[in-house]
C-alpha cells in the first residue's frame, strides 16, 4: 500500500523533501500559502527526476502522487509522516505544531530546523517527544544525511523516524545530545565566519576562498570527513602523532575563532581512541589508496561536467596534448598518409573491473573518445554542433584481443575507411606499446540536430574527411574489418 507524507512549507528544503518522498514511491501532500508553491516545487521535482533515478543501480519504485492543500488539517489527514519546513522562526513553528495537535495527529513530526533544539520545538507540546529535529541538507533529494535529535521522551519517535529515513535511502545521524545548530551547521558556521573575516580583511576574494575548498580539502572531506583525513595526515604513527604535531597550532593566531578546548592528554586520548575505532581496521597505506581512488573518481566526474577541479584538469590535458602528439585539426597533422593518433592516455583506476583488467564498457569509452577526436579534427567542433549538425553512431563492432590494466599506457590510431555522403566509416586500433588490445569499427551518420534526421555535413567537413579517406585508402585493408561476431579469428 502506498504511504503518504505531508510537507508543511514548500520552499527549497520542503520542495526537496517532497521530491525525496515522491520519487521513492510515497504520495505527497503539500501545504504552503505561497501562490507560487506549486510552480516552485514543480521545478524542484523536474531537477530531482533528472538526477535522482541515476544515483543508484536499481530502479526506483513508481512515482507517487502529489497534491496541494489549503489547510494543515487537510494536508496531514491520514498521513504516515509529517515534515515541517516552514520559515526558521520559532513562533511560526509553534503555531504550526499547535495546528497539528488540534487535528489529533499522533505520528512523528520531523522539523527541518537548522538551528532550534528539540527542547525548544517541544515547548508547550501536549505530547513531548512527538516533534523531532530532522535536519537535511540541500538538495534533500540527493544528499543522504539527516541530523535527528529528540528530547528524552522522543526515543520511540527516533526509532520510527530512522526507519522511514533509511527507507528513503538517507542516513539518519542520531545526535544523543541537543545543541544549538546541531553538528553540521556548527561546523559550517565556523568555516563561514572565518571566510567572512578573510574577505573583510582583504586576504582573499570569495572566488579564491571557494577555490581553496573545491581544489583542496573539500575533495578530501567529501570522502573521509575531518578526523579520518587527519589520521592519514599523521602517517604510520596515526592520530596521536598528528595531534602532537599540530596541536600547538590551536594557540596560534591562525583563526579569528580562538575559543578552543584545552589541549590535554585526556582530549588526545579521547580523539585517538575514537579514531582507532573508526579507522583502525585499515592501515595508513590502505587508507591512502582508498583516498586516492576516490579522489581520482571525484575529479574525473567533475571533469565530465567541466567544473571545479575537473575543469582545471581538462585545461591541463588540453595544454599537454601537443606533447603526446594529439592535434585538433587535420591541418595540424604532419602527415595524413598513416593512421591518425586519436587517443593517448593511461588506464585509470575506475576502468578496472572485478577481474582486475579494463572492463569491456571502457574499451568502448576509449574508442568513442577516439571517434570524438577524429570528429573534432575534421571540423565537427563544439561550435559546429551548437549550430545543429553532428554525427550519430549507427553501428559498432569491437574485438577484445588482449587485457589492459590500471596504469597501462594505451594509444588509439584511427583511419577513415570511407566518407561517402552522410556516412563516416572509421577503423580504430588500440595498443599498449606494440600489443594490439582491441579494434573498433564504427559507422556514423551525419544528422541535423533540429530534425534528428540524416543530413549532409558541411562542405568543409566533407572535404577533410575525403582528404583522410583518400590517403588511408592506400593502406592495406585492416585485418578484421567487416568481421561478424563469432567469426573465426
The CATH number for 363's domain is 3.10.129.10
Question: Does residue 196 sit within a domain?
Answer: yes
SS3 content of the chain, % helix, strand, coil (to 5): 45, 20, 35
Tell me: do 135 and 194 sit in the same domain: no
Three-state secondary-structure class, residue 389: strand
Rounded distance between C-alpha atoms, residue 470 and residue 141, angstroms:
54
Rounded to whole angstroms, the Cα distance separating 403 from 240 reads 44
* Phi, psi for 224 (deg, rounded to 5): -125, -5
Residue 431, pLDDT score? 97
Report the relative pairing of strands 389-400 and 340-346 from DSSP bridges: unpaired
Nearest-5° angle of CA 304, CA 305, CA 307? 115
337 in the same domain as 192:
no
Residue 430 cell numbers, joined:
588500440
Whether 481 maps to a domain, the answer reads: no
Alpha-carbon distances, residue 267 vs 237, 240, 264, 273, 369 (angstroms): 17, 10, 5, 10, 53
Same domain, 56 and 125: yes
| 335 lies in the same domain as 442 | yes
Q: Are residues 21 and 150 in the same domain?
A: yes
Spatial distance between the Cα atoms of 217 and 211, rounded to a whole number of angstroms: 10
Distances in Å between the alpha carbon of 125 and those of 44, 130, 147, 429?
Answer: 33, 8, 21, 72
**Which residue in the block uniquely carries the three cell numbers 542520531?**
174
Place of cell 573575516: 197
Domain for residue 315, yes or no?
A: no
pLDDT of residue 489: 62
Is residue 22 within 8 A of residue 64, CB to CB? The reply is yes
Verify that 160 and 27 share a domain, yes or no. yes
Name the residue among 30, 33, 27, 89 with its Cα closest to residue 64.
Answer: 27
Pairing outcome for strands 131-135 and 409-418: unpaired
Cα 146 to Cα 136: distance, rounded to the nearest angstrom: 4
Helix residue ranges, H only, 427-472: 459-472
- Measured CA distances, 462 to 334, 417, 458, 469 (Å): 20, 14, 6, 10
Is 295 among the domain residues? no
Q: How far is CA 213 from CA 51, 220, 254, in A?
A: 24, 10, 17
- Copy the grid coordinates of residue 119: 527542547
- Same structural domain, 190 and 170: no
How far apart, in whole angstroms, are the C-alpha atoms of residue 456 and residue 442?
18
List the grid coordinates of 110. 520531523
- Structural domain tally of the chain? 3
* Residue 85 shares a structural domain with residue 130: yes
Of the candidates 261, 289, 317, which is a domain's last residue? 289
DSSP state of 154: G
Of the candidates 470, 399, 408, 467, the residue with the CA atom closest to the CA atom of residue 429: 399
In eight-state DSSP terms, residue 392 is: E
219 lies in the same domain as 364: no
Residue with cell 487537510: 74
Cα end-to-end distance, the chain, whole Å? 56
* Alpha-carbon span 118 to 179, nearest angstrom: 9
- Dist CA 322 CA 330 (whole Å): 14
442 and 462 together in one domain? yes
What pLDDT is attached to residue 449? 97
Half-sphere exposure of 482 (CA within 13 A, CB side): 4
Rounded-to-integer distance, Cα 408 and Cα 264, Å: 49
pLDDT at 295: 87
Q: Kindly state the helix (H) or strand (E) to which residue 397 belongs, with its residue range.
A: strand 389-400
CB 340 within 8 A of CB 372: no
487 belongs to a structural domain: no
Whether residue 353 sits in one domain with residue 285: no
Whether 21 is in a domain gets the answer yes
Say yes or no: 166 and 219 in one domain: no
Is residue 113 included in any domain, yes or no? yes
**Full pLDDT tens readout for the chain, 489 residues:** 789 999 999 999 999 999 999 999 999 999 999 999 999 999 999 999 999 998 888 889 999 999 999 999 999 999 999 999 999 999 999 999 999 999 999 999 999 999 999 999 999 999 889 999 999 999 999 999 999 999 999 999 999 999 999 999 999 999 999 999 999 999 888 888 889 888 888 988 989 999 999 999 898 888 888 888 888 888 887 788 787 776 776 666 767 776 777 778 888 888 888 888 888 898 888 888 888 888 888 899 999 999 998 999 999 899 999 999 999 999 999 999 999 999 999 998 889 999 999 999 999 999 999 999 999 999 999 999 999 999 999 999 999 999 999 999 999 999 999 999 999 999 999 999 999 999 999 999 999 999 999 999 999 999 999 999 999 999 999 988 888 777 766
User: What are the cell numbers at 396?
Assistant: 559498432
In angstroms, rounded to a whole number, what is the distance separating the alpha carbons of residues 165 and 167? 5
Q: Where are the beta strands (DSSP E) in 155-197?
A: 171-174
Omega before residue 139 within 30° of 0, cis: yes
How far is 366 from 430, CA to CA, in rounded Å? 9
Q: How many CB atoms lie within 10 A of CB 18?
A: 29
Residue 298 lies in a domain: no
By residue range, what is the domain housing residue 338? 325-472
0.85 cut: is pTM over it?
Answer: no
pLDDT score recorded for residue 250: 66
Residue ending a domain, choose from 153, 174, 195? 174
Amino acid at each position: 500500500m502506498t504511504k503518504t507524507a505531508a510537507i508543511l512549507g514548500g520552499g527549497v528544503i520542503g520542495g526537496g523533501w517532497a521530491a525525496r518522498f515522491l520519487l521513492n514511491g510515497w504520495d505527497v501532500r503539500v501545504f504552503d500559502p505561497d501562490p507560487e508553491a506549486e510552480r516552485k516545487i514543480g521545478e524542484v521535482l523536474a531537477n530531482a527526476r533528472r538526477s535522482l533515478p541515476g544515483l543508484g543501480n536499481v530502479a526506483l519504485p513508481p512515482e507517487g502522487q502529489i497534491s496541494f492543500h489549503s489547510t494543515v488539517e487537510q494536508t496531514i489527514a491520514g498521513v504516515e509522516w509529517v515534515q515541517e519546513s516552514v520559515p526558521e522562526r520559532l513562533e511560526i513553528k509553534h503555531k504550526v505544531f499547535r495546528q497539528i495537535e488540534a487535528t489529533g495527529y499522533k505520528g512523528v513530526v520531523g522539523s527541518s530546523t537548522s538551528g532550534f533544539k528539540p527542547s525548544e520545538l517541544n515547548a508547550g507540546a501536549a505530547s513531548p517527544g512527538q516533534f523531532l529535529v530532522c535536519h537535511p541538507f540541500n538538495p534533500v533529494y540527493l544528499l543522504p544525511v539527516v541530523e535527528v535529535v529528540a528530547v528524552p521522551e522522543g526515543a520511540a519517535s527516533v526509532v520510527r523516524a530512522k526507519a522511514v529515513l533509511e527507507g528513503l535511502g538517507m542516513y539518519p545521524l542520531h545526535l544523543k545530545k541537543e545543541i544549538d545548530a546541531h553538528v553540521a551547521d556548527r561546523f559550517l558556521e565556523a568555516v563561514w565566519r572565518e571566510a567572512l573575516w578573510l574577505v573583510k580583511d582583504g586576504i582573499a576574494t570569495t572566488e579564491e576562498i571557494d577555490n581553496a575548498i573545491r581544489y583542496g580539502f573539500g575533495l578530501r572531506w567529501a570522502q573521509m570527513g575531518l578526523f579520518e583525513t587527519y589520521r592519514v595526515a599523521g602517517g604510520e604513527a596515526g592520530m596521536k602523532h598528528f595531534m602532537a604535531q599540530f596541536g600547538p597550532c590551536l594557540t596560534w593566531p591562525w583563526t579569528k575563532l580562538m575559543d578552543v578546548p584545552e589541549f590535554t592528554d585526556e582530549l588526545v586520548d579521547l580523539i585517538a581512541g575514537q579514531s582507532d575505532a573508526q579507522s583502525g581496521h585499515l592501515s595508513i597505506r590502505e587508507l591512502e589508496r582508498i583516498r586516492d581512488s576516490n579522489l581520482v573518481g571525484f575529479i574525473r566526474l567533475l571533469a565530465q561536467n567541466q567544473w571545479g577541479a575537473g575543469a582545471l584538469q581538462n585545461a591541463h590535458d588540453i595544454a599537454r596534448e601537443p606533447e603526446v602528439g594529439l592535434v585538433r585539426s587535420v591541418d595540424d597533422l604532419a602527415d595524413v598518409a598513416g593512421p591518425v593518433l586519436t587517443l593517448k592516455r593511461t588506464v585509470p583506476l575506475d576502468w578496472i573491473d572485478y577481474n582486475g583488467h579494463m572492463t569491456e564498457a571502457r574499451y568502448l569509452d576509449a574508442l568513442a573518445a577516439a571517434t570524438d577526436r577524429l570528429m573534432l579534427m575534421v571540423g565537427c567542433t563544439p561550435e559546429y554542433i551548437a549550430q545543429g549538425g553532428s554525427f550519430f553512431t549507427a553501428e559498432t563492432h569491437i574485438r577484445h584481443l588482449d587485457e589492459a590494466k590500471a596504469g597501462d599506457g594505451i594509444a588509439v590510431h584511427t583511419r577513415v575507411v570511407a566518407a561517402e555522403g552522410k556516412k563516416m566509416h572509421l577503423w580504430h586500433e588500440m595498443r599498449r606499446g606494440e600489443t594490439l588490445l582491441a579494434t573498433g569499427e564504427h559507422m556514423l551518420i551525419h544528422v541535423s540536430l533540429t530534425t534528428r534526421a540524416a543530413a549532409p555535413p558541411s562542405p568543409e567537413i566533407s572535404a577533410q574527411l575525403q582528404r583522410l579517406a583518400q590517403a588511408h585508402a592506400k593502406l592495406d585493408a585492416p585485418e578484421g574489418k567487416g568481421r561478424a561476431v563469432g567469426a573465426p579469428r
